[in-house]
Structure 1
Amino acid sequence: MKKSKFIVLIMVAFSLSLGGCSFFNGQSAKKQEMIQIAESKKMKVAIENMLKKLDPKALTPEGKIKSYKISKDDLDYNPMGGLLVKIVINNDEKLVLSTTIQEDATTGKYEETYFGETEELSDLLDKE
């Protein structure tokens, strides 16, 4: 009787460990997919267009927005659709733009559907 309980216990532990491994592999694949989307040329165009709406001289020496970086650790899928993206401006963690970017069904281009900015970024953009 004890031997059969031990075998059942081992089988349950083995099943749980396999399930846990497949869960983590699925999460890893999902994260890789989000990173691939975030690093795509279509995403670059969408983000740079959005930055140029905020600062017409963005990404030029005269602009207030000199550079940007996508925070890969903060990528996530929006339950309403699209990809949630955190963008760090000018390599300053206080200058952050959070946005949701979706693919337009007719054109196939990525477009921002929402964005929010930190107070520090808002202050930078409001300076004359």
Structure 2
Amino acid sequence: MLSPETISFISAHLTDDVAALSLKGGGTLPHADFQSALAQIKARQAIRAKLPSWYENMQLELPVQLSVEQSSSERTASFKASLFAEKKGVLVDLTGGMGVDCSFLSQQFDKTCYVERNADLCALARHNFRV
């Protein structure tokens, strides 16, 4: 997961142009952390309007661009959750992705089972569900 230094770097450069930032380098960040930071900045810029509460939570780690593009918006996920008035039963999300729907829908169920075949996405979702 992201180090506190990497999270600070992301916060400081959240609105910067990623291409220009990549040419400047990461200063004291190790190369691997810098590359991760650039990917996180780009993903956060993509979700700013789509998932505002996720954008603001710097503890969340975001997946590759394709998964960000394919995820539900906060508004859509909230609407889906509103379709289940009573909190009961078990939710099984068989196409978990980055976990947006699951995180909103899980509030309407007693138990939730998140399923995702991509191990990297699954690890990110596991981390994000805890923060």
TM-score by length of 1: 0.26
More strand by share: 1
- Choose between structure 1 and 2 for higher RCO, CA contacts under 8 A separated by at least 6 residues: 2
Question: Which TM-score applies when normalising by structure 2?
Answer: 0.26
